[in-house]
A and B are shown apart, each in its own frame.
Chain A
Amino acid sequence: KQEVTQIPAALSVPEGENLVLNCSFTDSAIYNLQWFRQDPGKGLTSLLLIQSSQREQTSGRLNASLDKSSGRSTLYIAASQPGDSATYLCAVGGNQFYFGTGTSLTVIP
């Protein structure tokens, strides 16, 4: 069974800082990896999807990378803003999606 780990569980940074969130997985036989954002009491919003054949994807201030061989993905957030405060989850897609428990990000004004 695929195991997905996200470290740290919580992160607090001052506004404007660049930051990296980590996601690791145990089985490299994946179809894709997806990053989500979840605000309190809300559903998950898709941020980026990286196919297994890709190395990275970018959307605005977000950049996600994938290294299948080492079982790692990172989500880079540039110039963080208070509105980025949320929980970020990664999900690894094989025959089904497996989720990490998330990193709770707080950006301090």
Chain B
Amino acid sequence: DAGITQSPRHKVTETGTPVTLRCHQTENHRYMYWYRQDPGHGLRLIHYSYGVKDTDKGEVSDGYSVSRSKTEDFLLTLESATSSQTSVYFCAITPREGEPLHFGNGTRLTVT
């Protein structure tokens, strides 16, 4: 299994609070991705990174920001959590375009 650790695994937070999710990899892969998974929508890309300090938006980036200061860590921040951001968040990595994506086990976030 690819060495991907997501933390926390579960989190409950209140509307309006900031939340940061962490993805840590031990594979030294260049590309890292944050997805959310919701019933009826499948997985949708939030943000991705193609190197340290190099990030770009996905299709559902509003309300989210990311940072990558080291190859192994990719952080996803919900600046002010809303109930619509209740979801399961997955991190994925790949060494280069055209190679398989490998996923972490996800973070289940509930915003009350």
B-contacting residues of A (Cβ < 8 Å)?
Answer: 1, 4, 31-32, 34, 36, 42-46, 49, 51, 89, 91, 93, 96-97, 99-102
Contact = CB atoms under 8 A, between A and B. Distances in A.
A96 B41 contact: no
A96 B58 contact: yes
A93 B45 contact: no
Interface in B51-78: 58-59
Contact of B41 (A43, A45, A101): A101
Given A42-B106, A96-B45, 6 more contacts: A34-B100, A44-B92, A49-B99, A96-B48, A97-B33, A102-B42
Interface string B67-91: 0000000000000000000000010
Is the interface on chain B under 10, 10 to 19, 20 to 34, or 35 or more residues? 20 to 34
A34 B103 CA distance: 13
Nearest to B48: A96
Contact of A43 (B42, B48, B97, B105): B105
A44 B41 contact: no
Contacts, number: 49
B98 A43 contact: no
A44 B6 CA distance: 13
- Please classify the interface of chain A as helix (H, G, I), strand (E, B), loop, or mixed, using the class held by over half of its residues: strand
A49 B11 CA distance: 33
A91 to B, nearest CB: 7
Contacts of A102: 42
A46 B100 contact: yes
